[in-house]
Amino acid sequence: MKGSAKGTLVLLCVVLLSGSCKRQEPDLIPEEFKLHAMQIEVPEGFPAIEPAEENPLTEEGVALGRLLFYDVRLSGNNRISCASCHDPALAFSDGVALSAIGASGEQLHRHAPALINLAWAKNGLFWDGGASNLESQAFAPLSSPDEMYQNLTELEHELKQVPDYVNRFKQVFQAEIKSVYVVKALAQFERTLVSAKSRYDRYQRKAPGVSFSPEESLGLSLVNLKCRSCHSGELFTDNNYHNNGLDQDFSNTQFEGLYQGRYRISYQLSDLGKYKTPTLRNVLRTAPYMHDGRLSTIEEVLDHYEHGVKTYMTTDPLLNQWDGKPGIPLSSAEKKAIIAFLGTLTEPEFGINQKMNNPFNHFKK
């Protein structure tokens, strides 16, 4: 066989191959049923993203997840959505220490975490890491009596009443509506909540016209020196668990060990009082702070690290000074500088941009 013929054959094979694994011949698929694979762009300096193999991202899946995220049908009383406690205007946090807007009206025991750069959160979700992935995590707020309290059978039934959802689930998952697809779509949307366009990022990338004030520069140096062991890398979190000295008594076993930190998940004594490091990105938009929201301002957080650290066996040794005293020495000028720097990690558009905000608002227009 001649070279060119061979080439044609190879080409034919490639065409066949690329076409063979789609559900139908490409030409026959109407535009509205096409699925477009999507990859999250890894911002400069960020670690690579391990793809979620069991739930690959598609543009259509993300769009469906976004609709569901903002849809009050997801709650049993049809009054609250994911966004009720993960408000895009607050970088997907809720601005209160412990929410009480759930179905029961009971106050939660944990502070609603901000949803930022979750595509990299591969070391457990929740403050204690009790969920291994975003998909599983979503079942907890959906079902909890103190949160959305949705019966999953009813959820499927309610969503099936909406023709647009029926079509979208069919398109994205080639299946009828099931709760497992609801959490998969939500997880797809959540993975697209990337924050990497703050002034800090433009400064790092030496964008023209971007500079730091002397105070912000001092703050950056101080953060690098004193905070980056845990708030590490460009994610500004190690996605790990630490006891940062909030408490020193973990004998309260109430609520299935809720006050014992990651110990309730791992059963390792070394995990008593440990909670997940939150990112510092958008941190000035996500007050109050800590797993139970007990510190209302960023100033209080810095005061805690300076003179409030309590010691226990599991308190992170990084919080000790060279002479063994607990706490991170910081003058008030240094604290001010740190706060000035943290302001550069704010991305005002994060949450409220056209790809992340409430899509139902667009329909109303």
SS3 246: coil
**Residue 13 marked ligand-binding:** no
Between CA 252 and CA 291 the distance in angstroms is: 16
Tokens standing for 81? 């959505």
Q: Is 34 in the site for another protein (CB under 8 A)?
A: no
DSSP 277: P
Q: Is 75 in the site for another protein (CB under 8 A)?
A: no
Residues 146 and 106: beta-carbon distance below 8 Å:
yes
Centroid of chain to Cα 154: 27
Site string for another protein, 205-244 (x = CB under 8 A): ----------------------------------------
Segment contacting another protein (CB under 8 A): 10-18, 88-96, 237-245, 331-339?
10-18
Choose between 249 and 256: whose C-beta lies nearer to another protein.
Answer: 256
The letter for the amino acid at 238 is D
Q: Residue 149 CB, nearest distance to another protein (Å)?
A: 6
Choose between 125 and 222: whose C-beta lies nearer to another protein.
Answer: 125
**Residue 227 marked ligand-binding:** yes
Tell which one of 62, 63, 64, 76 touches another protein (CB under 8 A): 76
**What are the CA-CA distances from residue 329 to residues 89, 236, 295, 313, 321 (Å)?**
34, 21, 19, 21, 8
Q: Which residue has the tokens 């070394």?
A: 270
Tell which one of 4, 20, 39, 354 touches another protein (CB under 8 A): 20
Residues 275 and 261: beta-carbon distance below 8 Å:
yes
The crossing angle, in degrees rounded to 10, of helices 134-143 and 152-160 is: 100
Q: Residue 142 CB, nearest distance to another protein (Å)?
A: 8
Between CA 211 and CA 202 the distance in angstroms is: 9
Between CA 20 and CA 18 the distance in angstroms is: 6
Choose between 1 and 37: whose C-beta lies nearer to another protein.
Answer: 1
**Residue 85 marked ligand-binding:** yes
Segment contacting another protein (CB under 8 A): 82-90, 192-200, 262-270, 323-331?
262-270
Tell which one of 49, 98, 180, 284 touches another protein (CB under 8 A): 180
Tell which one of 73, 95, 123, 133 touches another protein (CB under 8 A): 133
- 281-340 residues near another protein, rule: CB under 8 A: none
Centroid of chain to Cα 177: 25
Report CA Rg, the chain: 23
User: Would you tell me which residues interact with another protein (CB under 8 A)?
Assistant: 1, 6, 9, 13, 16-17, 20-21, 23, 54-55, 76, 103, 130-133, 135-137, 139-140, 142-145, 149, 151-154, 157, 179-180, 183-184, 187, 253, 255-257, 264-265, 267
